[in-house]
Chain A
Amino acid sequence: MPKDNGIGAAPKRREDLRFLTGKGRYTDDINIAGQAHAYFLRSDVAHGTINSIDTAAAAGMDGVVSILTAADFEAAGGIPCGWCVTDRHGQPMKEPKHPILAEGKVRHVGDPIAMIIADTLEQARDAAEAINVDITELPAVVDMSTALDAGATKVHDEFDDNLCYDWTFGSDDAAVEEAFSKAAHITTLELVNNRLVANPMEPRVAVGDYTSHNDESTLYTTSQNPHVIRLLMGAFVLGIPEHKLRVVAPDVGGGFGAKIYHYAEEAACTLAAKLCGRPVKWTSSRSEAFMSDAHGRDHITKMELALDADNNFIGIRTDTLANMGAYLSTFAPSIPTYLHGTLMAGNYKTPVVQVNVKSIFTTTVPVDAYRGAGRPEATFQLERIVDMAARELGVSPIDLRNQNFISKDMFPYATPVAVEYDTGDYHATLAKGADLADVAGFDARAAASAANGKLRGLGVAHFIEACGIAPSALVGQLGARAGLYESATVRVNATGGLVVMTGSHSHGQGHETTFPQVVAEMIGIDESMVEIVHGDTANTPMGMGTYGSRSLAVGGSAIVRATEKIINKAKKIAAHLMEAAEGDIELKDGTFSVAGTDKSIAWGDVALTAYVPHNYPLEDLEPGLEETAFYDPANFTYPAGAYICEVEVDPDTGKVDVLNFTAADDFGNVVNPMIVAGQVHGGIVQGIGQALLENCSYDENGQLLSASFMDYTMPRADDIPFMTVDHSCVTPCTHNPLGVKGCGEAGAIGSPPAVVNAVLDALHRGGHNVPHIDMPLTPSRVWSAMNG
């Protein structure tokens, strides 16, 4: 019988009750008495010199409280970047100033120029129209392939060119040349990893508040990591000490990476509240989100795979151009480097792997992490080129993968690109996926499709990713400017209930359900006795938030450590109450007993004693029962899985229908299988979106052409098949106390190559020799590829 409590049970998400009944409390639901509304006047050209900003007429309009421009932020710092990448010559990356409001130049459509604060949003918008900004337009820098040409227009005049850094990683040139010189076969693939917009359901919102009686600023914001925002904004931008700055990220309606970063609007609303003496609220419109939320992906890559005469992979070399956009967003430089290059070995024992990345400034919205962040780009290249090699060599893509997989007896396995995989069994996950997807029965289904005039294809991909971000010492060496531990405070109340204050943040992941399962399991009590508090710097310990599939692996581990401290202290109290030796106390099902006796005492009695210490060992123990732990992981976690996709292509129109999708993942131990399945479902939907539908498009003048859901195609229910999601293959993580691996990004990492491989398989079966099509595989692209 399945468990109904604790680790491994699948209780329904307790937070959904409020979300589904309209009782969530999101940032836009927060309205403070006296609040004014902000509107940002944004550049409608991609690149230009600001000659003047005339706000005189606007300032006198009805309801206008204040109009701020760059001059008002002179005392403030620029928006900091959280990661410094060192280039191949040992030099730090170029790091341009990222002003809160445009200083002297605008560098992308959507770059904020002025902040208009008025009694109502309508008044602020009207006033924005009356501001006269005189801009001399400069040529846009949109195409990465020409952005480094001599004489190319520079996005940042203070630098020699548009190169942020030129980075190399992994095997050295001599090793690569030797491997490729020995190759019996070399497969070459050139591709574009399409630019995406995260589009969480809730757009970004910021409410700044300032109370003069205690000189304290509060920012309510749609963030995945309120402590990180407090640190970056307080210490680097506005110069507010942390004890005078509170950041609250209440219910947040999805993030997918785009809500990690510190954004200009947050600092602007916080400062404006103090300057105006009124709370200031800004709510992004959807159009505004398209041109101000950090975008994702946007790589141009050439990859080569060398194989020996027996089809063993002997070398991998990649060259990538990665778009940074106009400014460096918080984690942008790390995405195409340490979150991308480190995964280029994939699941394979390729001895030589070299990754080269040039990151480039362009006059587009900054690009940063989006669900998967670097690992989807690595996985897509690798799993496409393995498929391509199999096709060129006339071997089964499944066999070629199995032949080259790192086998389970090789762990821990150090790759040529710096990381050490602790556990895995890739043969097992691929076999499981193939079984669940009924690969054996595919030919019959393909024949049935052919009889209906459709081309059916089967696509396989096998991913690995590094998540549970991150060991602080390692990432510090690699340029991270922050520690990436996580924190937890566990407070036992006098009557036995527990409150867990976590530094990680839930914006859809279900922490309020999963974390109590962990604590309940450890103590042996019901989950309903545990409440999770997150999202407010005033009542949670300093933590790093949620991204990189880290909440359970790192934040959950901190909760385990804090709960262990609680249990240790509670045992001491129980030992005192039962007049026994501490070492003889056992905790089971919420009851403390003395080993070998029938003496026992309930959890609640111990808790009460801690707070009503009438009979208490005060000489040995402090009263109270509250503990904090900080957990810094020893390594990343390395989930892996087989993703198998079956599609039908309509040869007359090029339309792709995804018929079946199977994911067989190894996430180590699973706390709540329902939530894990949901995470994988969501990731696959976003992966199918990238593969078939989504594309952020700029014209040659740097105008953003896809800035609404009319032009940027989000996946809809009828684009998505029923999915078979399995996580029964388990190799527990060796270095965290729960044995868990991250699951939040897997679906978005593993699915795009599976979809594209399936479409190309379908075309191949239909007699069309199409080696590659760039995502998204729209009907027009597929039809054009089929018809030369």
Chain B
Amino acid sequence: MQMSGTRTIAADQATVWAAILDPEVLKACIPGCQEISGSADEGFEATVVQKVGPVKATFKGAVEVSDRVEPESLTISGEGKGGAAGFAKGGANVTMTAVEGGTELSYEVEAKVGGKLAQLGSRIIDGFAKKMADQFFEKFQITVEGPEEAEQTGEDSTDGGEEKKGWFGRLRG
């Protein structure tokens, strides 16, 4: 599956760039991340616990950062093995553009799953991947900006987690 999104972060390009290469930031932002080690230069090793439909698994895998054009763009790719649950792999092309009020972060994400995840979760995998990406970039925004600003800009995002609120809001409005 493929998806894309954009959000504006109230921080300059250099700050956003540094944050996205920081393992502590990544650990805070990758949904279900238990552990991350390594560096952007050498690659990260990550452990992520996630539940896709009926399949819950601990994914262990490598995350690489490549195609780095500081401070404008980079590619994050990774593959996680979930044992009996199968595997998930994917990549995101991320661009950071200076705009008024901060940095516009655009991302194109591609994700693939295999094994039991594909067999049991194929119907829900698109929604799941979108949720994962949205959660990542939302947390990233919060982490970079600090929580107060995030609440104000959250409504503008294409966030799946926020979709419920928007839908609820429309119903009441």
Are A44's CB and B120's CB within 8 A?
no
What is the 8 Å Cβ interface bit string for chain B, positions 82-98, against chain A (1 contact, 0 not)?
Answer: 01101100000000000
Are A128's CB and B119's CB within 8 A?
no
Interface band, chain B: 10 to 19
- Whether A707 touches B84, Cβ cut-off 8 Å, given contacts A44-B115, A45-B114, is no
- Whether A710 touches B123, Cβ cut-off 8 Å, given contacts A129-B84, A703-B113, is yes
Interface band, chain A: 10 to 19
Q: Which residues of B contact A701 (CB under 8 A)?
A: 112, 114
* Most B C-beta atoms less than 10 A away, residue of A44, A129, A701, A711: A44
Q: What are 27 A-B pairs with beta-carbon distances under 8 A?
A: A44-B86, A44-B87, A45-B87, A45-B115, A109-B115, A109-B118, A109-B119, A125-B84, A129-B83, A129-B84, A287-B120, A699-B118, A699-B122, A701-B112, A703-B113, A703-B114, A703-B118, A703-B119, A703-B122, A705-B118, A705-B122, A707-B116, A707-B118, A707-B120, A708-B120, A711-B119, A711-B120
Q: Which residues of A contact B86 (CB under 8 A)?
A: 44
Q: Which of A18-62 contact B (CB under 8 A)?
A: 44-45
Are A704's CB and B118's CB within 8 A?
yes
Question: Nearest CB to that of B87 among chain A residues?
Answer: A44
Q: Tell me the smallest distance from the CB of B84 to a CB of chain A, in Å.
A: 6
Question: Nearest CB to that of A125 among chain B residues?
Answer: B84
Q: Which of A696-718 contact B (CB under 8 A)?
A: 699, 701, 703-708, 710-711
* Most A C-beta atoms less than 10 A away, residue of B83, B87, B112, B123: B83
Q: Which residues of A contact B123 (CB under 8 A)?
A: 710-711
Question: Nearest CB to that of B118 among chain A residues?
Answer: A703
Are B122's CB and A287's CB within 8 A?
no
Inter-chain CA distance A109–B83, complex, in Å, is 14
Q: Which residues of B contact A44 (CB under 8 A)?
A: 86-87, 114-116
Are A711's CB and B122's CB within 8 A?
yes
Inter-chain CA distance A109–B118, complex, in Å, is 10
Q: Tell me the smallest distance from the CB of B58 to a CB of chain A, in Å.
A: 10
Q: Which residues of B contact A129 (CB under 8 A)?
A: 83-84
Question: Nearest CB to that of B112 among chain A residues?
Answer: A701
Inter-chain CA distance A519–B164, complex, in Å, is 71
Question: Nearest CB to that of B86 among chain A residues?
Answer: A44
Question: Nearest CB to that of B53 among chain A residues?
Answer: A710
Q: Tell me the smallest distance from the CB of A136 to a CB of chain B, in Å.
A: 12
Question: Nearest CB to that of B116 among chain A residues?
Answer: A287
Taking A44-B114, A125-B84, A707-B118 as given, write out 20 further A-B residue pairs in contact, using a Cβ cutoff of 8 Å, ordered by the A residue number.
Answer: A44-B86, A44-B115, A45-B87, A45-B115, A109-B114, A109-B118, A129-B83, A129-B84, A287-B116, A287-B120, A291-B119, A701-B114, A703-B122, A705-B118, A705-B119, A705-B122, A707-B116, A707-B119, A710-B120, A710-B123
Q: Which of B63-121 contact A (CB under 8 A)?
A: 83-84, 86-87, 112-116, 118-120
Q: Is the interface of A mostly helix, strand, loop or mixed?
A: loop
Inter-chain CA distance A560–B120, complex, in Å, is 50
- Asked if A290 is at the interface of the complex by the 8 Å CB criterion, the answer is yes
Inter-chain CA distance A703–B86, complex, in Å, is 11
Are B84's CB and A128's CB within 8 A?
yes
Inter-chain CA distance A291–B116, complex, in Å, is 10
What is the 8 Å Cβ interface bit string for chain B, positions 109-144, against chain A (1 contact, 0 not)?
Answer: 000111110111011000000000000000000000
Inter-chain CA distance A532–B83, complex, in Å, is 47
Inter-chain CA distance A128–B86, complex, in Å, is 12
Inter-chain CA distance A703–B125, complex, in Å, is 13
Q: Which residues of A contact B115 (CB under 8 A)?
A: 44-45, 109, 703
Inter-chain CA distance A158–B120, complex, in Å, is 34
Are B83's CB and A704's CB within 8 A?
no
Inter-chain CA distance A704–B121, complex, in Å, is 11
Smallest CB-CB A-B distances: 5 pairs: A44-B115, A707-B119, A703-B118, A129-B83, A705-B122
Q: Which residues of A contact B114 (CB under 8 A)?
A: 44-45, 109, 701, 703
Q: Tell me the smallest distance from the CB of A132 to a CB of chain B, in Å.
A: 9
Inter-chain CA distance A615–B84, complex, in Å, is 71
Inter-chain CA distance A78–B37, complex, in Å, is 45
Q: Tell me the smallest distance from the CB of B21 to a CB of chain A, in Å.
A: 28
Are A290's CB and B84's CB within 8 A?
no
Q: Which residues of B contact A711 (CB under 8 A)?
A: 119-120, 122-123
Q: Which residues of B contact A291 (CB under 8 A)?
A: 119
Inter-chain CA distance A290–B114, complex, in Å, is 15
Q: Which residues of A contact B112 (CB under 8 A)?
A: 701
Inter-chain CA distance A499–B112, complex, in Å, is 58
- Whether A290 touches B119, Cβ cut-off 8 Å, given contacts A44-B86, A701-B112, A703-B113, is yes
Are A704's CB and B119's CB within 8 A?
yes
Q: Tell me the smallest distance from the CB of B56 to a CB of chain A, in Å.
A: 14
Q: Which residues of B contact A699 (CB under 8 A)?
A: 118, 122
Question: Nearest CB to that of A698 among chain B residues?
Answer: B118
Question: Nearest CB to that of B123 among chain A residues?
Answer: A711
Q: Tell me the smallest distance from the CB of A47 to a CB of chain B, in Å.
A: 11
Inter-chain CA distance A185–B30, complex, in Å, is 64
Q: Tell me the smallest distance from the CB of A264 to a CB of chain B, in Å.
A: 19
Question: Nearest CB to that of A708 among chain B residues?
Answer: B120
Q: Which residues of A contact B120 (CB under 8 A)?
A: 287, 707-708, 710-711
Are B119's CB and A287's CB within 8 A?
yes
Q: Tell me the smallest distance from the CB of A250 to a CB of chain B, in Å.
A: 30
Question: Nearest CB to that of B79 among chain A residues?
Answer: A137
Q: Which residues of B contact A125 (CB under 8 A)?
A: 84
Inter-chain CA distance A699–B87, complex, in Å, is 15
Inter-chain CA distance A88–B113, complex, in Å, is 41
What is the 8 Å Cβ interface bit string for chain A, positions 254-296, against chain B (1 contact, 0 not)?
Answer: 0000000000000000000000000000000001001100000
Q: Tell me the smallest distance from the CB of A227 to a CB of chain B, in Å.
A: 34
Q: Which residues of A contact B119 (CB under 8 A)?
A: 109, 287, 290-291, 703-708, 711
Q: Which residues of B contact A45 (CB under 8 A)?
A: 87, 114-115
Inter-chain CA distance A705–B118, complex, in Å, is 6
Q: Tell me the smallest distance from the CB of B17 to a CB of chain A, in Å.
A: 32
Inter-chain CA distance A44–B81, complex, in Å, is 10
Q: Tell me the smallest distance from the CB of A53 to a CB of chain B, in Å.
A: 14
Q: Tell me the smallest distance from the CB of A123 to a CB of chain B, in Å.
A: 14
Inter-chain CA distance A704–B120, complex, in Å, is 9
Inter-chain CA distance A710–B84, complex, in Å, is 19
* Most A C-beta atoms less than 10 A away, residue of B84, B115, B118, B119: B119
Q: Which of A673-704 contact B (CB under 8 A)?
A: 699, 701, 703-704
Q: Which residues of A contact B116 (CB under 8 A)?
A: 44, 287, 707
Q: Which residues of A contact B83 (CB under 8 A)?
A: 129
Inter-chain CA distance A708–B123, complex, in Å, is 12
Question: Nearest CB to that of A133 among chain B residues?
Answer: B81
Q: Which residues of A contact B84 (CB under 8 A)?
A: 125, 128-129
Inter-chain CA distance A125–B84, complex, in Å, is 8
Inter-chain CA distance A284–B114, complex, in Å, is 20
Inter-chain CA distance A426–B123, complex, in Å, is 45
Q: Which residues of B contact A287 (CB under 8 A)?
A: 116, 119-120
Inter-chain CA distance A291–B86, complex, in Å, is 14
Inter-chain CA distance A44–B118, complex, in Å, is 9
Inter-chain CA distance A170–B143, complex, in Å, is 72
What is the 8 Å Cβ interface bit string for chain B, positions 29-51, against chain A (1 contact, 0 not)?
Answer: 00000000000000000000000
